[in-house]
Each structure stands twice: as structure tokens, then as C-alpha cells.
């Protein structure tokens, strides 16, 4: 039987199976505060049957939001709303819940995806100044970033620390640092976005310097009793971009400062990149990272669309866990159904047990 349905230990956190809900922005917050939409959405994710649900990219500061509707966790109002969201969810479901924290860098200040296609906000729609490794915009029509200075770095590190502290306080079980997809920390890692000529640009060692400073700061404030991971790009899908081998080295640096997982995604630094988004397209990147980080949990993600594909990733040792995004949005019972298909057993919440596949086999509806 596939190991996917077996419990797994991510650092200090035990999860009941090896399927994770990937973080997905919902563009439904007001002033960064989670509201009624998040209550029902998190309920769906928590009851999905996944071993861990990671909440969407949540900004460490107002300027760090991707869009004006993204979640944030930098002030007391947001903290109180997250605390009540988690406590309501915990009242009916014990699935561990993680949060992804990040800063959108030069890709901040956009509209929600379904408003104007997620393009940069205009000044009259409330655009705000953005930050980047240099003053080069992400792409034509995107805002010119303010090139980050040493004092900006100090402030950013403290924003990440503040957010991580609050995430612990409100009761998240796990935290994922967003160092992927061309957002702030990813843009420092990528030679495409980071053309600095100081000690933060150039060699991989230099490009990793600021992201690792943030990673260490987050590690220092996030308790050792809770799981901590990072999402990183295995590739920029671009000739001059980050490579899987470089990602593996960044992963080793994170492992060395006690990060429990490495979640391998790709893309987002080069607007012209041709991404070959086929079934399980990012798994080779996860394999490379795993081969150099054998003792750290590696999560594979990206168009893992059915039970067979998910089980294969785990059973072939390509990665330790699989994360699934859109399939769960489409069908919040995807993890339940996948585990049932692979094991013949379905572990539904009590309220839904009478819908179980096992029951259906015994008696027709």
C-alpha cells in the first residue's frame, strides 16, 4: 500500500498523511484582515483530509502585500482576526494549520487576479511604492522599485520577525517562509532580478545572504516546538535564472539553520519565461533538492492531479510529501478521495461519515 496515507513527522509536527494543501492567495481580505470568506475557506481546507493545510501568502507589512486584497499579519487587528479564525476552526477540526509569510517586493501593489488581471495598481486605485534588489522593474508597465538599502534590510528583517511572532501567538502549527515566485526573497536569490554589485548580489553566496538573514531571524523567533519550512524556486525557467543545483544549495543552508521542510516550486522571476507546465512538472527540481538534502523533508508540488501521480511521488522517493493546490480548490474532498482510492478507507469527519465511499459500496444510496 502507498506510504502516502501513513503518518509523517515534519520536525516536531506529526501529520496524519502525506498530502498538504498548498498556499493559495484568495484576494479576499480587507486591510490584510481575514474575514467571513476565510472562515469558510479555511474550514474547507481543514476538513479536506489533508495532513496539513498551509494558508495563503500573508504579508509581513502593508507594502509587502501582493495585492490590496491580500492577507497581512503586522498589526493587532489582523492578529485578533487570525486568532479567532483559528480558534473557530479548531473547535471542529484538529488538522494542523500553517501560514505562509512573505513580502511581495517589486511584484507588490497589484490588483486582485480577477480585477484587471492582477496588473499593477494605478495611482488612483491606490498604488503604493515597491521595493526590490535594484531599481529594475519586474517587467514593462510595472512600478520602478526603490533599491533596498542596509537600513531597509534591518526594517524588513524586523517585519518578518514581528509577523512570525504574531503567527506563533495566534496559534499556527507551522510556518512557511515564502522565498519563491519572484517575490522579495526570491528576487534576491535570482540572478535575473538581483543584479546588485555589493555583497548581496553576484555569486550565489551573496544572493543568498539577505534571504538567509531573514530565514535565521524567523528561525530565532519561531519556536522549536513548531514546524518551520520554506518555499523556494527549483528553477526560474530561464537561461540565466536560478538552477535546481543552486536551489539545492540554498536548501542546504536552510537545513543547516534547522528548517524542517523545503517546498519546491518554480518561476516568477522572469516575465518571459516559458514554463513547461505539464503533469508533475516541478518534481525533477524536488528530486534534485532532496538528493542534496536527504535529512530534510522535501515537498513536491505542481499539477499532481490524481491519486496515482501523488502516490508515485512518495513511493518513488522523489519527495517526502506532496502539496496540492487547484485540485483542492476544485474539490475540497480531493485528499479524502485520493486516500480512499489508494487505501480503500475513508476517514471523513463524523458529520460526513454517511457519505463515505465504504458505506456507498455496502448500500446503494
Ligand X SMILES: Cc1cc2nc3c(=O)[nH]c(=O)nc-3n(C[C@H](O)[C@H](O)[C@H](O)COP(=O)(O)O)c2cc1C
Q: Which of residues 123-142 bind ligand X (CB under 6 A)?
A: none
332 in contact with ligand X (CB under 6 A): no
Out of 12, 24, 39, 146, which residue is the one contacting ligand X (CB under 6 A)?
24
Radius of gyration of the chain measured on its C-alpha atoms:
20
Subset of residues 55 to 84 that bind ligand X, contact rule: CB under 6 A: 56-57
Please identify, using beta-carbon distances, which residue of 196 and 323 lies nearer to ligand X: 323
Q: Which is nearer to ligand X, 104 or 212 (CB)?
A: 104
Only one of the segments 23-31, 73-81, 206-214, 216-224 lies at the binding site for ligand X (rule: CB under 6 A); that segment is 23-31
Q: Phi/psi of residue 299, each to 5°?
A: -110, 130
Nearest distance, CB of residue 66 and ligand X, angstroms? 8
Catalytic status, residue 183: yes
Among 23, 120, 234, 332, binds ligand X (CB under 6 A): 23
324 lies in the binding site for ligand X (CB under 6 A): yes
Which residue from 231, 238, 314, 338 is in contact with ligand X, where contact means CB under 6 A?
A: 231
- Annotated catalytic residue within 8, 27, 183, 200: 183
Binding mask 158-197 for ligand X (x = CB under 6 A): --------------------x-xx----------------
Nearest Cα neighbor of 279 from 258, 305, 253, 298 is: 305
Question: Residue numbers of the site for ligand X (CB under 6 A)?
Answer: 22-25, 56-57, 100, 178, 180-181, 231, 265, 301-304, 324-327
Active site residues: 183
Amino acid at each position: 500500500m502507498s506510504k502516502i496515507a501513513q503518518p509523517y513527522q515534519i520536525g516536531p509536527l506529526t501529520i496524519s498523511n502525506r498530502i498538504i494543501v498548498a498556499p493559495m492567495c484568495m484576494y479576499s481580505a480587507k486591510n490584510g484582515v481575514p474575514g467571513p470568506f476565510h472562515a469558510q475557506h479555511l474550514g474547507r481546507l481543514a476538513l479536506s483530509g489533508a495532513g496539513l493545510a498551509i494558508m495563503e501568502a500573508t504579508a509581513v507589512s502593508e507594502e509587502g502585500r501582493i495585492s490590496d486584497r491580500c492577507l497581512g499579519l503586522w498589526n493587532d487587528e489582523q492578529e485578533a482576526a487570525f486568532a479567532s479564525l483559528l480558534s473557530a476552526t479548531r473547535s471542529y477540526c484538529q488538522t494542523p494549520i500553517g501560514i505562509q509569510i512573505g513580502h511581495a517586493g517589486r511584484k507588490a501593489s497589484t490588483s486582485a487576479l480577477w480585477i484587471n488581471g492582477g496588473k499593477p495598481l494605478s495611482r488612483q486605485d491606490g498604488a503604493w511604492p515597491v521595493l526590490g534588489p535594484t531599481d529594475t522593474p519586474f517587467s514593462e508597465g510595472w512600478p520602478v522599485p526603490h533599491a533596498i538599502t542596509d537600513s531597509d534590510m534591518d526594517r524588513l528583517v524586523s517585519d518578518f520577525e514581528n509577523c512570525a511572532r504574531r503567527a506563533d501567538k495566534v496559534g499556527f502549527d507551522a510556518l512557511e517562509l515564502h522565498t519563491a515566485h519572484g517575490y522579495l526573497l526570491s528576487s534576491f536569490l535570482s540572478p535575473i532580478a538581483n543584479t546588485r554589485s555589493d555583497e548581496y548580489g553576484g555569486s550565489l553566496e551573496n544572493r543568498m545572504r539577505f534571504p538567509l538573514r531573514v530565514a535565521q531571524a524567523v528561525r530565532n523567533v519561531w519556536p522549536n516546538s513548531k514546524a518551520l519550512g520554506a518555499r523556494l524556486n527549483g528553477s526560474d525557467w530561464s537561461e540565466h535564472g536560478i538552477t535546481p543545483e543552486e536551489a539545492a544549495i540554498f536548501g542546504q543552508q536552510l537545513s543547516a539553520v534547522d528548517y524542517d521542510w523545503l517546498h519546491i516550486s518554480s518561476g516568477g522571476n522572469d516575465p518571459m519565461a516559458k514554463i513547461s507546465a505539464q503533469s508533475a512538472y516541478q518534481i525533477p527540481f524536488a528530486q534534485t533538492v532532496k538528493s542534496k538534502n536527504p535529512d530534510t523533508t522535501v515537498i513536491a508540488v505542481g499539477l499532481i492531479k490524481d491519486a496515482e501521480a501523488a502516490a508515485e511521488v512518495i513511493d518513488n522517493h522523489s519527495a517526502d510529501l506532496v502539496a496540492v493546490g487547484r485540485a483542492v480548490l476544485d474539490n475540497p474532498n480531493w485528499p479524502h478521495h485520493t486516500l480512499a482510492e489508494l487505501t480503500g478507507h475513508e476517514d471523513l469527519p463524523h458529520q460526513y461519515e454517511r457519505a463515505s465511499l465504504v458505506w456507498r459500496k455496502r448500500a446503494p444510496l
